[in-house]
């Protein structure tokens, strides 16, 4: 969490944590603050200890902090917290140390991406996944192998990230999954990270199938977003790797908790 380091007095304000939640729209944060016995500051008040922001913080804001005040972001977090900026950051890795598939930033690199689609062979070619920059919960995501797979007008008037799709993902019970692991970073230099014991496994409701024209639009096969899979039924069909297509009903819900 960000704090200011200046020559100001380090005298602390009276005991009792006051939280500024005026820029937070998430009810769970308000609930957590109240459950800890914190007092919520009046909107516009600068008399607070902790400020929770839903968006990134700029350096000028951190420089105005009192010595005892904390914000839930580091300056520069947007280098990895937005899809386009994450691509730009990963591109700075030295040759041979790449950790992610090839990506294109649209619309700036639309011509290069269109060329990749046109040159992609019909049989045995690559699959690409396209995500809008400003959306979440799986909204606006689509898969494509050829130019005709891109919905008409879909890429107009917006910012997107296109990336080569990983066609052989690690599977859980024959289903695609991802892990939500929660950490608290209290210092960047030196790096200090606390790992929360509990996490979340997000699963696709449908058994995984290698991308094909027949399933490119089947979101419950390729996208693990809970908002997409929560209402889908867990199929009993055998998965692509021969394992059962249902894992104790967890796929129907789209997510399952785990404890470290």
Residue 250 phi/psi, 5-degree rounding, is: -65, -35
What mean pLDDT value characterizes the chain? 86
Q: Are 199 and 168 in contact (CB under 8 A)?
A: no
Confidence of residue 211 (pLDDT cuts 50, 70, 90): very high
Q: Does domain 76-93+100-166 have CATH number 3.30.1490?
A: yes
Spell out the domain ranges in the chain: 18-73, 76-93+100-166, 168-236
- Which residues is 164 bridged to in the sheet? 128
DSSP letter (8 states) at residue 203: E
Span 104-119, pLDDT tens digits: 999 999 999 999 999 9
Confidence of residue 18 (pLDDT cuts 50, 70, 90): very high
Q: From residue 68, how far is each of 31, 54, 77, 186 by CA, in Å?
A: 23, 21, 21, 14
- Range 174-207 burial, b when 16+ CB lie within 10 A, else e: bbbbbeeeeeeeeeeeeeeeeeeeeeebbbbbbb
Percent of the chain with pLDDT over 70: 84
Span 91-106, pLDDT tens digits: 999 988 888 999 999 9
The pTM score is: 0.78
Q: What is the pLDDT of residue 3?
A: 60
Task: Copy the structure tokens of residue 63.
Answer: 């420089």
Q: Pick the range with the lowest mean pLDDT from 51-55, 219-223, 252-256.
A: 252-256
DSSP string, 29-66: HHHHHHHTTPEEPPTT----SEE--SS---HHHHHT--
Does residue 208 carry a pLDDT above 60?
yes
Q: In terms of Cα–Cα distance, which of 83, 232, 236, 117 is closest to 221?
A: 232
């Amino acid at each position: 969490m960000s704090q200011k380091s200046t020559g100001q007095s380090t005298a602390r304000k009276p005991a009792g944590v006051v939280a500024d939640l005026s820029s937070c729209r998430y009810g769970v944060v308000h609930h957590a603050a109240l459950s800890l016995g914190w007092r919520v500051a009046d909107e516009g008040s600068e008399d607070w200890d902790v400020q929770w922001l839903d968006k990134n913080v700029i350096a000028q804001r951190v420089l105005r902090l009192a010595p005892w005040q904390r914000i839930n972001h580091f300056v520069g977090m947007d280098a990895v917290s937005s899809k386009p900026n994450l691509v730009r950051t990963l591109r700075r890795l030295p040759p041979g140390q790449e950790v992610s598939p090839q990506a294109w930033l649209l619309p700036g690199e639309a011509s290069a991406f269109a060329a990749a689609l046109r040159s992609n062979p019909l049989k045995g070619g690559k699959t690409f996944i396209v995500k809008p920059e400003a959306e979440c919960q799986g909204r606006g995501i689509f898969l494509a192998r050829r130019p005709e797979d891109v919905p008409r007008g879909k890429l107009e008037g917006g910012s997107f990230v296109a990336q080569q799709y990983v066609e052989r993902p690690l599977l859980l019970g024959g289903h695609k999954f991802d892990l939500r692991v929660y950490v608290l970073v209290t210092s960047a230099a030196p790096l200090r990270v606390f790992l929360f014991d509990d996490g979340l496994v997000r699963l696709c409701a449908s058994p995984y199938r290698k991308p094909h024209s027949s399933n490119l639009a089947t979101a419950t096969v390729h996208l693990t977003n809970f908002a997409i899979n929560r209402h889908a039924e867990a199929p009993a069909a055998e998965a692509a790797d021969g394992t059962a297509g249902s894992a104790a009903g967890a796929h129907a819900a789209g997510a399952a908790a785990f404890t470290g």
